[in-house]
Structures are given as structure tokens and as C-alpha cells.
Structure 1
């Protein structure tokens, strides 16, 4: 029996290690008050972000995220931002996950299964990025990405989320996300949630994008219609 148990453990470890969390996952849950909530979590190498919003209106509810590792079926995450409980920021948390095939995943002990949306492709920009500069009056103004005040954007193959936060003060400044495409030098965001202004949900914003020396140059007009030129660096 001990041998069979050992063999099963090895096979389970091999199966779990073959699974990949990289990409985006979605689920819908009905809360006690009857509200239908959509959840989305995006995993890139080393970093992840999760968001919850009203499935019908897109009204923002909460978000959290930070670094993560997976050892067998044990995930450990260290939040850099957490809107519902700031005491969790910077504190490692481990829990067990399980897969059902390659397209279903959940935390052990929970009811909701998340469905894989993509595996990190086909987006040209998939990964975790930090804003590292802006162009103003024709001049590039660089930003130190190691400082506590960060603006991060996480992209899978089809989904994106940006988050502005401070790891030192635990302050959260805003977030937004949805679906994106990259076609012929055009980066287009379709907003599904926006913490600062629910009325922006449903907007489609088109920008120019270009990768220069590994940095993402992003230009166009913001959701307010203001011209922007941002530079992002990979984490």
C-alpha cells in the first residue's frame, strides 16, 4: 500500500507540474444577495492579478494581486495590493489548487471552477509591465520602477488589467481591465470594469504601440480624451 501511495503521489506531482496557470481564467459566482459577480485572474511569469466586478453592469467590486509561485499543487502568493483587506499585503499565503483537464481550475475547498480563457497567446504584449516613463513636451521623463508607487499592467493573450498602488503605504489608486487586441501596431482595449468611473465600461480605446529595446511605447488618448505617451518596462 505504501508503494502504491508513493506511485500515486509521484504521478499526481507529474500531472500538476505539466499544468500551467499562465494565461487568463474567468468564473461567475452568485453571492448571497443575488448579485452575479464575474471574476478574472491573469497569470504571467511570476506575477498575477485578480479582479471581481458585477457581471451585468461591470461595476468594480475588488482586486488583489502580486507575486506567485506554484510547487506541485501548492500555490503561494504575496499580495502587493489588496482592496478588501490591506493587512494581507506583503504576507505570504499558501493554498491548494486542483485542475480538471487543462481548462478548469479551482482552489481546493471552494465551489467555483475557473475556466481558462487563454494560455498567454496570441497577444504580443503578454506579461507583467511597470510604467517606466512618459513623454511630455517632446521629452522622455523616466520613472524609477523600484519605488513603492507603482502602476502595473498585466496582460495575458487576450485580457489586460492595470493597477495603480503603493506597496509601502498600501494605498490603492485605481484599476481597470477587460479584453485587448494587438493588430498592425494598434493596441485596442475594451473595458469591462473601471474602478474610477463605471460609466466608462463598454468603451473601446485604440492606441499605437511599438516595442523599442524591449520597452513598450504606448500612445493615443486616455478614457478622458487626453493625449498620452507612456513607456512600460517588463518586470
Structure 2
């Protein structure tokens, strides 16, 4: 009888742990579409970003995000940027969700939206990055850690950069889309760009190499300027 009881609790414990794991929000890219409007959610390294855009008519709409804490079916976001509502920056918000197969049903103020998890495309650059050095006039200059920062989220073939200053509630621009990294070559196709919608559809290619954990990024910007940047992983825990 004791053996049967032990087996029951062992089986139940394994089943419960597996069920909990299946219900967790995992890193990745999630997409919800409303007509031609796309609503992209990127989750990586305890950070989350929401982006709304229309790549057909080349219209950026909105982005917001910040550090992420996951507890069961509830996520808490410490908002670091919000392109529509600067008053929200510095505050926390909570959203409830439930996992449905490989998708995520996220509850907003008025309704649930079903975000479809995009295909897993793991690449060596997948991470939350922060720019820490930039070449100017032939010399590399360090960018000290400060309130103002530019971060870049890469996960499962999607990327987004965002320039912000959470302490000043500042939002200075964002852009993103699809990316690939192979044999030290990084390429991206822009799907949204807050500063200039005409950049949407551009495809750019760069040299990219990870050296001592830092990402060395060389090439030409979307304006055609030479760039050499070094990005380091951003720690949010």
C-alpha cells in the first residue's frame, strides 16, 4: 500500500511539474494580427517588448516594454518605454495569460488576444543586447552605462532596437523586423521604423562576430553611413 501511495505522489508530482512548465511563458516571438495590423511580442532574457505596426502601408504605430517577471499565469512588466504614453514609464503593469497549444492568449484591459508563437529559429545572436562602444572618426569610444541607452532584442529570427531613457521617460526611436546570422554575417529586413517609414522593406547586411561574449557589428547603416558598434548582453535579473 505504501509503495502504491509513493508511486501515486511521484506520478502526480511529475505530471504537475510538466503541466506547470507547459503553462509557462517561454522566450520567443509571438504574433497577433488584426487585419493588416501586426502586433508582435518579443520575449528574451527576462525582457518583453510589444510592437504594433503595418508593414504593408509602412506605418509604425506603437511600442512599449520592459523587464519581465513571470509567475504562473501572470506576468509583471516594469515599463521602461512607451511610445504613446510617457506617464506609464517607471510603473509596473500586470497581464494575465494562458497557454493554448503553442500559442498565448493574453488578457488586455478589454479582451483576450491570441498571439501565435512563431517558429523557433535559434541563432547565436539571440539575446538582449545593449550598445557599449561605437567607432567615431576611426576610434572606438566606450559608451558608459547610464540612464540613456540603446538596447536590441533578438529572438527566433526577429529583432528590435529601441533608444530610451527610462529615468527621463524618454523614447527616441525604434526599428525592427527579420534577421539572420550565419558564418559571421548578419542580415536584416526592416518591417517597422519609427523615425522614417520609408526605411520599411530595406534589407541590410553586416559583418558580425561574437568576441569574448561581445557582439562586434560592422557595416553600413540604413542611411548608408559606416558603422562599427560593440554590443554587450544586458542583464535584467
TM range (shorter): 0.7 to 0.9
- 1:182 aligned partner: 181
**Hey, what does 2:123 align to over in structure 1?**
123
Structure 2 gap ranges (5+): 1-11
- Corresponding residue number in structure 2 for 1:139: 139
2:82 matched to which residue of 1?
82
- 1:3-31 deviations in Å (ceiling 9; x for gaps): xxxxx9x977852433342011111114x
In the alignment, the residues of structure 2 paired with residue 56 and residue 224 of structure 1 have an alpha-carbon distance, to the nearest angstrom, of 21
1:16 to 1:88, Cα distance in 2 relative to 1, 3 A: farther
- In the alignment, what sits opposite 1:196? 195
1:38-49 equivalent positions in 2, closer than 5 A:
38-49=38-49
Gaps spanning 5+ residues in structure 1: where?
A: 1-7, 31-35
| 1:108-138 C-alpha deviation (Å, 9 max, x unpaired) | 363421111144x422111100000112233
2:54 pairs with 1:54: yes
Aligned residues of 2:209 and 2:216 also touching (Cα < 8 A): yes
Moved over 6 A (4+): 10-13
Q: Which residue of 2 aligns with 1:4?
A: none
The corresponding residue for 2:31 is 26
> Which one has the largest radius of gyration?
2
Determine the C-alpha separation between the residues in 1 that align with 2:135 and 2:170.
26
Residues in 2 aligned to 1:16 and 1:87: alpha-carbon distance in whole angstroms: 35
- The aligned counterpart of 1:70 is 70
Contact 2:107 2:113 in 1 (8 A): no
| 1:157 Cα deviation from its structure 2 partner | 2.0
Is the CA contact 1:178–1:192 (under 8 Å) kept in the aligned structure 2?
yes
In structure 2, C-alpha distance between the alignment counterparts of 1:29 and 1:188, rounded to whole Å? 28
Give the structure 2 partner of residue 169 of structure 1.
168
- Secondary structure of the 1:113 match is strand
Question: In the TM superposition, what whole-angstrom CA distance separates every residue of 1:19-63 from its partner, at most 9, and x where no partner exists?
Answer: 342011111114xxxxx3101111011111111012522310000
Query: Please, which moves more after superposition, 88-97 or 61-70?
Result: 88-97
SS of the residue 2:61 aligns to: strand
The residue correspondences of 1:201-212 to structure 2 (distance < 5 A) are: 201-212=200-211
Deviations 1:201-235 (A, max 9, x none): 00000000011111000010000000000110001
Number of aligned positions between the proteins? 219
**Alpha-carbon distance, 1:180 to partner:** 0.1
- CA–CA distance in structure 2, aligned partners of residues 11 and 37 of structure 1: 39
Q: Aligned partners of 1:118 and 1:40: how far apart in 2?
A: 13
Task: Determine the structure 2 residue equivalent to 1:17.
Answer: 21
